[in-house]
Structure 1
Amino acid sequence: MFSCRLIDPEDMISRFVVCRYRLEPRVESNDEFTVLPNGSLFVPFIFMYPLQPHEYCLDVFRYHDTKEEVVLPLVCFTEPLQQAHLYLHYILYPLGLLISVPFLIVTMLVYCRIPELRDLHGKSLTCHVMCLTIAYIFLAAVQLGGETFHQKICVVIAFVIQFSFVACFFWLNVLCFDTTWNVLANVRLQKCSNDSSENDYICYKRLKDGRVNMPKATERSVFIFYSLYAWFVPLLFMVFSVSMDLMPTIPSSYLKPNFGEKKCWFSSEDAELHYFYGPVALLICVNILLFILTAYKVFSFEWKAPKHRPRQLFRMCLSLFGVMGINWVMEIVSWSVGGPDYIWYITDVINTFQGVIIFCIFVLEPRVREYVWKKWGRQLSNIMCFKDNMSYSTPENAIKQNNA
């Protein structure tokens, strides 16, 4: 049954509402519904996502035959623009996040399993990708079914997402710092002549063949310091957020995250600024300064080889920062400025597919492709040959082909 009403132009929430449809489970089994504790309406056979309180209303109806009064929901119809936004929010964004996850996992496996890639840069990249993987999995779960989660589960997931994203940006900061350090050491030691006594520069050593490298023992110690910084600081940040949010002794006048009150995230923009966007913006500014310094050193120095390792490293990290840094700058701008959602669709979609982009930058890079083929090329060839053999009509023909 349909019910239409006039629209108040002053009402910003209901400006999209045109008509309402009454759900009647007794008449139509697909109209089965559940009002969730957070006030949203779950209609599993009609809508793929729970309806927010402003998308439906409850009213009392009387059946004429039984004179029984029942409370039934009236579901609001929306205009196509809002429907497109809901489609992007509940379908396309989670789909992009879930598509990115396998690419992130493959990137981790490549940099974990190939010894040549397990240097300081490779280990840091693996930690960065691992944080992003965890954040994407939980963020996709929230966008697909967060409204149906119990509040306690919602709070836990929100803290995991906060920690994962903050740690992700701390590891990106580590990658930027490590790239700058590597370039500065190469520039300093490459300028020295072979007979110079200056062969060390802050943990880096110049080898006899002219290459600049960090000894393995020193590399392990540096990675421990990196890990203490990039894991421990976000952990302290999360513990502080948990304490502010859950400890009853902290006055309500203090700014709290209030996870789980409205959604599986912060309850207000002020909380988002102090507990998430503020630290992320600070790290992005530091990374920009590091890249400006690195770019100056890279392009002002005459490298002996056109494919010098520090220069390649800078290009890859610059690409990574361009993907994460610039898009998150746009994310922060969209959060602070506001405006129509469709303006930020492109950057939001790019953010969801970061896993694919990271895979293309760090795994499809020629040097890494060569290592991958060297380690797993024969196995991949055997798998392809096995598939070809399976295409033969009889097992005898397949055996003969293998023997040949």
Structure 2
Amino acid sequence: MPCKKYVFIRKFIERDGKLVLISLGKEIGPLNVSFCINDVAVGERRLNLSIIQNVAVTCATEIDPKETVFGYCMIVSVIFLAMTVAIYSSFSNLRDLFGKSIISYCGSMAIALALLAIIKLMAYSDMSWCAVRGFLAYFFLISSFFWSNAISIQILLCSRAPALFSAKSSFLWYSLYAWGCPAVLTICMAIVNFHPGDHAKPGLGLNHCWFANESQRWYYMYSVMSVLIILNMCIYVYCATLVCQKPFSSAHIKEMRYKLWLMIRLLVLMGLFWIFEMISTFTEAHIVWTILDVFNTLQGFLMFVVLVVLRPRVIKTIHQRGLFFCMSGIVEKCLAVVDDAEDECIVHTEVAMTDK
């Protein structure tokens, strides 16, 4: 069985000439893959011993050069998302309800992209760890979309009236929503994945670390993303209608406009490129879709631009701490001509992470 790279499966049985995996005491399969059974030496480093073990050997999925490019783009995104998290976490005036939600969103996306980059760039040899990486990537990726929806809900509530609860208690409720729902979805998907039967399984850890085809992605991932993106769009349209029809004071109008513009940028970054990726599953491969996929994998850099570079409040905070060094003069001139609408907004939910 000639292959460039191999996968060694230790827990398996052979039934009627087909491979059946054993995971958590349950049978998975039979799998429609070519394989052979061989004895390999498994080393024990601490005892300096080699144990001969019977394993199933099958071909690892070859890495597409295009997927390699996507993997490195994801690493770039992870770096910029980590920088965004570090900046928002370092300054108390940025750790309001919105800021803590941004930290959670960027952190979730960073972990998801890091795991997906590992899946794309590294050949797998242990299906158990492969499944763990796949389910963790799914959990954090879906969590980032729930956090985007939580941010949209916050903007909607802040644009209408002061918060009824303290920012601390509100963040706990948002956290329960944005972390709890993905956890439930991930657990349900794991049950479906490892339950014996011929139903449509996600396939994570079943000779693949990630969803093997478009139908699996639509069943378990794109469907959830689509619902959340549509909800975010509805919130934006509703808020835009409020601005156009309701007679607010000038200060309130300015606050609403700032929040709406922020929603537009977040909606584009969090949803537009994913929508293009979903559309591409119904069409043939084309260079346009590849370019859009590259932008999607670079959304961490785009998020950094919107949430740090283009947000005067963040730049002003960094400048006041003297962290721009030799660029302080240029930054000060730019801040002098920029209209910081946030400073004129009435913020109802600002609170630090600590109770000090």
Q: TM over 0.5, yes or no? A: yes
Distance (whole Å) between structure 2 residues aligned to residue 315 and residue 38 of structure 1? 52
Partner of 2:66: 88
Identify the residue that residue 95 of structure 2 maps to in structure 1: 118
The verdict on how the C-alpha distance between 1:282 and 1:86 changes in structure 2, with shifts beyond 3 A counting, is: same
The match for 1:278 among 223, 232, 241 is: 223
8 Å CA contact 1:128–1:168 kept in 2: the answer is yes
Asked if residue 287 in structure 1 is aligned to residue 232 in structure 2, the reply is yes
SS of the residue aligned with 1:356?
helix
Deviation at 1:284, TM superposition (A): 0.9
Q: 1:168 aligns with which of 144, 155, 166?
A: 144
Gaps of 5+ in 1: 1-22, 24-32, 40-84, 186-200, 204-216, 385-404
Aligned partner of residue 255 in structure 1, secondary structure = coil
Report the counterpart of residue 130 of structure 2 in structure 1: 154
Q: Secondary structure at the residue paired with 1:121?
A: helix
Return the offset for 1:251: 3.8
What is the letter of the counterpart of residue 233 of structure 1? C
Distance in 1 separating the partners of 2:115 and 2:125: 12
- Correspondence for 1:228: 176
Q: CA deviation at 1:86?
A: 4.2
Q: What residue is the counterpart of 2:7 in the other structure?
A: 37
Q: Match of 1:167, as an amino acid?
A: S
CA drift of 1:155 comes to 0.7
- SS where residue 274 of structure 2 aligns? helix
For 2:128, give the aligned amino acid: K
The share of aligned pairs that are identical, in percent, is 27
Contact 1:319 1:361 in 2 (8 A): yes
Count residues in correspondence: 272
Unpaired runs of 5+ residues, structure 2, are: 10-62, 329-356
Contact 2:124 2:130 in 1 (8 A): no
| Two-structure CA RMSD over aligned residues (Å) | 2.6
Report how far residue 317 of structure 1 moved.
2.6
TM-score (norm 2): 0.70
- Relative to structure 1, the CA distance from residue 38 to residue 221 in structure 2 (aligned partners, 3 Å threshold; closer, same or farther) is same
Q: In structure 1, which of residues 122, 132, 136 is the aligned counterpart of residue 109 of structure 2?
A: 132
Q: Alpha-carbon deviation of 1:268?
A: 4.0
Which SS does the other structure have where 2:166 is aligned?
A: helix
User: With CA pairs under 8 Å and 6+ residues apart, which has the higher RCO, 1 or 2?
Assistant: 2
Q: Aligned residue for 2:200?
A: 255
Change (3 A) 1:307 1:184: closer
Separation in 2 of the partners of 1:367 and 1:149? 47
Inter-partner Cα distance in structure 1 for 2:215 and 2:186: 17
Compared CA separation, residues 342 and 38, structure 1 to 2 (3 A): farther
Aligned partners of 1:259 and 1:265 also within 8 Å: yes
| Larger Rg computed on CA atoms | 1
1:306 deviation in Å?
A: 9.4
Counterpart AA for 2:169: S
Q: CA deviation at 1:262?
A: 4.0
CA–CA separation in structure 2 for the residues paired with 1:347 and 1:369 = 29
8 A contact 1:260–1:267 mirrored in 2: no
1:3-42 to 2 correspondence within 5 Å? 35-37=5-7
* Offset, 1:121: 0.8
Q: Secondary structure at the match of 1:259?
A: coil
What amino acid sits opposite 1:252 in the alignment? G
Q: What's 2:51 paired with?
A: none
Q: Check whether the contact 1:111–1:117 (CA below 8 A) recurs between aligned residues.
A: yes
TM-score normalised per structure 1: 0.62
